[in-house]
Amino acid sequence: EQLQTQHLSISPRARVQYTFPQLFFYKPNLWWPNGMGKQALHHVTISVEVKEHGESDQWTHLFGFRKIESHIDNATDGRLFKINGQPIFIRGGNWILSDGLLRLSAKRYRTDIKFHADMNFNMIRCWGGGLAERPEFYHYCDMYGLLVWQEFWITGDVDGRGDPVSNPDGPLDHDLFMLCARDTVKLLRNHASLALWVGGNEQVPPKDINEALKNDLQLHPYFETPSET
Amino acid sequence: MAEIGKTKLDSGWLAARSTDVELTGTQLTTTHPPTGPTAPWMEAVVPGTVLATLVKNKKVPDPFYGLQNEAILDIAISGREYYTFWFFTTFQCKLTGNQHLDLNFRGINYSAEVYLNGHKMVLPKGMFRRHSLDVTDILHPDGQNLLAVLVHPPDHPGSIPPKGGQGGDHEIGKDVATQYVEGWDWIIPIRDRNTGIWDEVSVSVTGPVKIIDPHLVSSFFDNYKRVYLHATTELENKSSSVAECSLNIQVSTELEGNVCLI
């Protein structure tokens, strides 16, 4: 549906950030959660060719056009979600991890996640005491329309509200926590199913970590555009 | 010319307890590589954990049957060395001209030292971070490369109180690692605290310029009729000369069946 080529020079040993001119689509097939419509996914391929060398690198991803919004509803104090402007009743389940010895396989993820879709769920919550789930997990959530609520690695029991009360200030190395969080966001951020990042389970992360996460994860003002004309 | 792209290293791995191996990482990846699954070496589960490898080789019973987990030594009693393991494999790769090779680890729990053809590199602590090493200059000329990884458990594995409980003594919370491993009301303590090369290992061949972590965002107008795709990516020029690049982005949608519209 779209093909665009840009030319740029990169200095020796340099690392640069490049943004393509935005690509326009008229009424593309949208991605919808399980039970609300199809999970339309588009193949996006980014490749780079270098003069006098040829193809240098290529990256592909299955991308879903969708807009996910959520806010706390004053009446119920619960979080309300909207997908592509349509309110959705969340039917979700808890997820800890696929296997206690981390024998994670695409086949197992596909089976587990299809099972959730067959149970008519439309969200999976990844508990903070488990893992930041893997791209294969998210791939099948994209395919089967399971929205994902992904928690970072803080739990009430271990971080300040357990018995005995321990780690009131979370992990020893907050910079390491943020480095891992930022790298995890880069690993997972392009998946259509990723609906919500959550600081932790039954506990707010330590203040500095929570502020940094909120700051890094806020939607860029550029994209804060109403969907109306 | 090696083909551009990623190759997973997910077979042919060996593992051995570090205290059973006298050799250094440099010796393992030059003069004394292990020849096969003969003691103290065994077939390894990669990606996976130390305990997954031990269960596969029947060195310990499967912890998820009956009370068998009680028969497995907990790291709090054995000490961290007992679950500090070597993982070893080989891979073939011959680059040409201006090609580059990265060795990628998508998840290590909790820290590691990597030896490739005798060269040592350190993978810093943290369970949820990727590591990518440019190994272009240390590949073997004949294409056959020897890789050894010494994986260390989390710094604070903690110990399990007699009454168990949510997250044991909570020590694991001092690290940036999964917290369920000290046991919870729904799972037994994991004896090695999920130490290991727990996620994908791969090598990726690129030319002089590498694409890093593209970010795709869509914005919507006119009630979802007018849609834009915004794409940002990092690019790294690994060569010592200016790279004149053509950067392409292509979006295709899969129609019913296997017909693709571009």
pLDDT of the residue at B160: 96
B159 lies within 8 A of chain A by CB: no
Counted across chains A and B, CB pairs separated by less than 8 A come out at: 342
A176: contact with B, CB 8 A cutoff: yes
Model pLDDT, residue B194: 98
pLDDT band for B259, please (50, 70, 90 cuts).
low
pLDDT by residue (tens digit) across B189-231? 999 999 999 999 999 999 999 999 999 999 999 999 999 999 9
- Give B 22-61 residues with CB within 8 A of chain A: 45, 47-49, 51-52, 55
Read off the tokens for B61: 């019973």
Instruction: Indicate which of A16, A48, A136, A143 best probes the interface with B, i.e. most B CBs within 10 Å of its own CB.
Output: A48
Mutation to test the A interface, candidates B83, B220, B226, most A Cβ within 10 Å: B220
Which among B170, B249, B254 has CB closest to A44?
Answer: B249
Q: What is the pLDDT of residue A80?
A: 96
Q: Report the pLDDT value the prediction gives residue A228, as an integer from 0 to 100.
A: 46
Q: What is the pLDDT of residue B256?
A: 56
Q: How far apart are CA B17 and CA B129, in angstroms?
A: 24
Please say if the pLDDT value at position B1 is more than 80: no
For residue B52, give the 3-state DSSP assignment: helix
Is A167's Cβ below 8 Å from some Cβ in B? Answer: yes
Query: Percent of chain B having pLDDT more than 70?
Result: 96
Evaluate whether A124 touches A195 at the Cβ level (below 8 Å). no
Q: Bridge partners of B43?
A: B14
Establish if B224 touches chain A: CB-CB under 8 angstroms. Answer: yes
Q: CB contact, 8 Å: B10 with chain A?
A: no
- Pairwise CA distance, residues A18 & A195, whole Å: 26
Among B3, B95, B160, B170, which would you mutate to test the A interface (most chain A Cβ atoms within 10 Å of its Cβ)?
A: B170
3-class DSSP assignment, residue B260: strand
Question: Hey, are the CB atoms on A155 and B179 less than 8 Å from each other?
Answer: yes
Predicted complex: ipTM over 0.90: yes
Predicted confidence at residue B257, as pLDDT, reads: 61
- Residue in chain A closest to B174 (alpha carbons) equals A171
- The predicted structure's pLDDT at residue B237: 98
Q: With 80 as the cut, is the pLDDT of residue B240 above it?
A: yes
Of A28-32, B1-5, B116-120, B128-132, the range with the lowest mean pLDDT is B1-5
| In chain A, beta strands by DSSP E | 2-10, 15-19, 23-26, 42-50, 54-63, 68-72, 79-83, 86-88, 92-95, 123-126, 147-151, 194-198
- Give pLDDT < 70 ranges for chain A: 1, 225-229
**Which is it for strands A123-126 and A92-95: parallel, antiparallel or unpaired?**
parallel
> What pLDDT shows up at residue A203?
95
Please confirm, yes or no, whether A202 is among the known catalytic residues.
Answer: yes
Flag whether residue A224 sits within 8 Å of chain B, measured between CB atoms. Answer: no
Cβ atoms of B134 and B238 closer than 8 Å? yes
Q: Does A90 touch chain B (CB under 8 A)?
A: no
- What's the pLDDT tens digit per position in B136-191? 999 999 999 999 999 999 999 999 999 888 999 999 999 999 999 999 999 999 99
- Cβ neighbours around A161 below 10 Å, total: 14
The beta-carbon neighbor of A153 closest among B179, B234, B236 is B179
Of all residues in chain B, the percent with pLDDT exceeding 90 is 92
